Amino acid sequence: MIHKFAIQNLRNAEHYQYMISAYGIFVKFDVDRENLGIFYDTLSEHLKTAETALSIEKNNEKVRGKNEMDHYRDRLHSKLFNHLKSILYDEKDARFDNAQQVMRVVKEVGTTPV
């Protein structure tokens, strides 16, 4: 099943990367350049502004600390996910049923690594 992508849930750096990727696809395939050319130019200008804003944000100490904590959290999620997978590979493990339940919850709340 394909789920609708919630762009509003992206953090600034993720949003910027998403927009860079989208712009790259539009340019690569030259999608309707005749009618959309002005939008390509505008998006390119906005991406330059966003890059400048992100570079200023990265220099902010509090933001850097938050980003480090986010990275640590993501690594803990990966660690949990990998630990669950290691249990789920062995069907004879006494923790197998519990690991299945926990994995189901982990997937429902969306904490699995990408």
pLDDT-flagged residues of the chain (< 70):
1-3, 111-114
66 and 52, same domain (yes or no)? no
Could you tell me if residue 53 is inside a domain? yes
27 and 13, same domain (yes or no)? yes
78 and 109, same domain (yes or no)? yes
Could you tell me if residue 68 is inside a domain? yes
- Three-state DSSP string of 3-42: CCCCHHHCCHHHHHHHHHHHHHHHHHHCCCHHHHHHHHHH
Looking at residue 111, its pLDDT comes to 55
Q: Which domain holds residue 66?
A: 61-114
50 and 67, same domain (yes or no)? no
77 and 114, same domain (yes or no)? yes
Whether the model pTM is above 0.85:
no
Could you tell me if residue 2 is inside a domain? no
- Domain count of the fold of the chain: 2
